[in-house]
Amino acid sequence: MPRLDETYRRRALPPGSPRHLSWLFSAAAVRDPLLAVYALLAEWRATMHAGVDPATAAGKLAWWQEEMRRLSMARPVHPVSRFLASLPGADEIAFDPLEKAIDAAVARITGQPLTRREDLADRADALIGGPLRIAIRLGSTVLEPLALEACTRALACGEYLARALEERDQ
């Protein structure tokens, strides 16, 4: 199986970060899928950074939407997407949550407000929780879908809020 380029690995798992620690202490079967998802999230997060011109960010996210469609058709071109597609079981996974993650990223860069608690939970779940569920599904054969969704929604909300606080303090 191909390895993910070191540049993408460093972006996905900055030493000492919560993502690095969650990857480090995860079950061996989940590490490659988690690395792939974290690498995608790192690419998208760089696009959503406050210093990126909104028009440039929108263009990059449009490209990523196309890339997620290509991934769903088993024809990705980006190295991270190709790594994800090469993982065992990837041909049996529906990658729709990754398209929803891009939609959530677009909502964020276009300033769509989070007016209710449910809006926050939905956006965080789309942007982080759905992709995490893909990683867990690729790394596990025994799942209880409702428990998995509850867990990843909670993790997604926590990470989304932590990142928002980091960005506010910069």
Say yes or no to pLDDT of 120 above 90: no
95-98, long-range: CB within 8 Å, 24+ apart, which pairs?
95/68, 95/71, 95/134, 96/72, 97/126, 97/130, 97/131, 97/133, 97/134, 98/40, 98/68, 98/71, 98/130, 98/131, 98/134
Average pLDDT, the chain: 86
Which are the contacts of 102, defined by CB distance < 8 A and separation ≥ 6? 44, 61, 64, 65, 68
What digits encode the pLDDT tens for the residues 43-88? 999 988 878 888 999 999 999 999 999 999 999 999 999 999 999 9
Q: What are the structural domain ranges in the chain?
A: 6-169
